[in-house]
Chain A
Amino acid sequence: MQALTNRVKVLEQKPMSFAERMYFPAILKGMGITFSHIFKKKATISYPEEKRPFSPVFRGLHVLNRDEEGKERCTACGLCAVACPAEAITMEAAERKQNEEHLYREEKYAAKYEINMLRCIFCGLCEEACPKDAIYLTETFAPANFTRDSFIYGKSDLLIPDPTTQPEQLKAAKGLSEDQTNIKK
């Protein structure tokens, strides 16, 4: 049969020569290889002390954003819940009252906003669907826990600290995520 390309390698299956049947040279060679690995750089990242760097487009835990005056951006339009392929997001809308203008940006807001982190597949479609820039995926991931309930993140877990009343906490929260990206180059 004619070869289609000239890259064909013909393998010969000869019976092993006496030297090969001794196995010792091959074994010594193999041992040399494993010995050289003793001096190679270790691939391990000692986790709590060192952290693996995430790429800038890493999609981790969600946050609910506020604007510069500390008002919640989310208007409970439900687009994120619709976009969510895992049906991880549920919300309940409410109407903004007379003296709540400093809390919510629009006249409608999310009274309840829950993401089930066990269902979430961190695809980021909610982030893309949001017309108000209210939901973002950060570079942290959900910490381990013992109960399923604790993986349902409510508004208190998701909202970022208010830049007007808690500027330090906001800075700390941002610093943490920056730390995680810069800790190991």
Chain B
Amino acid sequence: MMLLFDIALFLEKFSLIVVVILGLLGIALYTTFAERKVAAIIQDRKGPNRAGPLGLLQPLADGVKLFMKEEIIPLTANKWLFILGPCLAMLTAMMTSAVIPWSSAIDFFGRKIQLQIADINIGMLYVFGVVSMGVYGIMIGGWASNNKFSLLAAIRGASQIISYELAMGLTLIALLMLTGSLSLKTIVEQQMQSGIWNIVYQPVGFVIFLICAFAECNRTPFDLPEAENELNFGYHQEYSSLKLGFYLFSEYINMFISGAIMSTLFFGGYDIPFLNEAKLAETIGGNIVALMGIVALLLKVVFFLFLFMWVRWTIPRFRYDQLMDLGWKKLIPLALVNMLITGAVILWLNK
């Protein structure tokens, strides 16, 4: 049997994966810093400013602190599941980054490199599958802690994510009727070609998607699983040291990824607004345009990250019944109506 093993492809994908994972970890570190800064300035404070210039070394100090803490596994905890919880949370958070197109292809010594780890034709479904696996991190962590608060948090987290995933999926169906493709790359390219972002066609869908993204990331106002004042930090109450760090970082990575997915689906991904990339690439070269695309995507994501933080420091937490009410009685019907109207309009336009 001949095993064709393209070493160049392997190296290309491997280096891309390494860059993305390291990048995500770095972004997670600095998102924690940004969160503290944003919280501070919204509350008329200054925020961390002691470690390094402007406090920029603060995340490193936090990281070192987490490393140095004592690693505690409670006696009554289920040891394997206790360790598996944060691993799963981190793994699933990282895995979603595999299908996000970071930019258009770059030309590397004659080799065309796609800045996307895997352009699979079911990209969006893959993201949904992995994200719903992310809830296992919370569930297993809460269960294995053998603590009633953690367990309550795990139940809340699971039910919340299941309820909001439905509405999220329904908005996505409406979007898919427009694009006709599940591949994220194709969705971005369609938006680049037409020059009109999907937000124009699907404003309601975007708002529902945004709300569901907040819920999926366990961010305020949907941070019931880690409600500090009711559940003592919820599912990661018993965790310490780097296992706690994994949970916290995975939350920020999830935020980043959902920001990237929202940018990709609704805001043209790496598309630079009011600019014809293909024309520009002829004059200044495709590589520079690709880099500009990365910057454009990152700027969009940074905006979403800021939105996540901004909302967190504005809105109080939902009560559990309000959460369920919003999810099942408001968002799902709204998403269904949105889907029906989208379908009807598409049929009507196509005649």
Give chain A's interface residues, CB within 8 Å of chain B: 27, 30-31, 33-35, 37-38, 40-44, 46
Contacts and interface: CB of A to CB of B under 8 A. Distances in A.
Contact of B44 (A27, A30, A35, A42): A42
Interface in B4-40: none
20 contacts: A27-B315, A30-B315, A31-B311, A31-B314, A33-B314, A34-B314, A35-B42, A37-B41, A37-B42, A37-B43, A38-B41, A38-B42, A41-B44, A42-B41, A42-B45, A43-B44, A43-B45, A44-B45, A44-B46, A46-B49
Contacts of A38: 41-42
B233 interface: no
A46 B46 CA distance: 9
A44 to B, nearest CB: 4
Contact of B310 (A34, A40, A43, A44): A34
B126 interface: no
A30 B311 CA distance: 9
A124 B42 CA distance: 40
Interface string B301-312: 000000000110
A30 B42 CA distance: 12
A42 B47 CA distance: 10
B310 A31 contact: yes
B123 to A, nearest CB: 30
Interface residues of B, number: 12
B313 interface: yes
Contacts of B41: 37-38, 42
B207 to A, nearest CB: 8
Contacts of B310: 31, 34-35
Nearest to B221: A27
Contacts of A34: 42, 310, 313-314
Interface of B: 41-46, 49, 310-311, 313-315
Contacts of B315: 27, 30
A30 B314 contact: yes
The 8 closest A-B pairs by CB, nearest first: A44-B46, A34-B314, A34-B42, A30-B314, A31-B314, A38-B41, A43-B44, A42-B46
B311 A37 contact: no
B36 to A, nearest CB: 13
A103 B141 CA distance: 73
Nearest to A32: B314
B321 to A, nearest CB: 15
Contacts of A30: 314-315
Nearest to A36: B42
A40 B43 CA distance: 9
A44 B314 CA distance: 20
Please indicate which of the listed interface residues A27, A34, A40 has the most CB atoms of chain B within 10 Å of its own CB: A34
A43 B45 CA distance: 6
A114 to B, nearest CB: 37
B287 to A, nearest CB: 36
A33 B43 CA distance: 11
Given A34-B42, A34-B314, A35-B310, 6 more contacts: A27-B314, A34-B310, A34-B313, A42-B44, A43-B44, A46-B49
Nearest to B311: A31
Contacts of B42: 34-35, 37-38
A50 to B, nearest CB: 11
Contacts of B311: 31
Nearest to A30: B314
A35 B42 CA distance: 7
Contacts of B313: 34
A43 B43 CA distance: 9
Contact of A40 (B44, B46, B49, B314): B44
Nearest to A31: B314
Contacts of B314: 27, 30-31, 33-34
Contacts of A40: 44
A73 B328 CA distance: 81
A129 B43 CA distance: 45
A40 B49 CA distance: 18
Contacts of A33: 314
A51 to B, nearest CB: 16
A79 to B, nearest CB: 46
Nearest to B207: A24
B338 to A, nearest CB: 15
Nearest to B43: A37
A30 B314 CA distance: 6
A162 B310 CA distance: 59
B336 to A, nearest CB: 18
A27 B43 CA distance: 17
A159 B315 CA distance: 56
User: Which of A31, A41, A43 has the largest count of B CB atoms less than 10 A from its CB?
Assistant: A31
A27 B49 CA distance: 30
Nearest to B316: A30
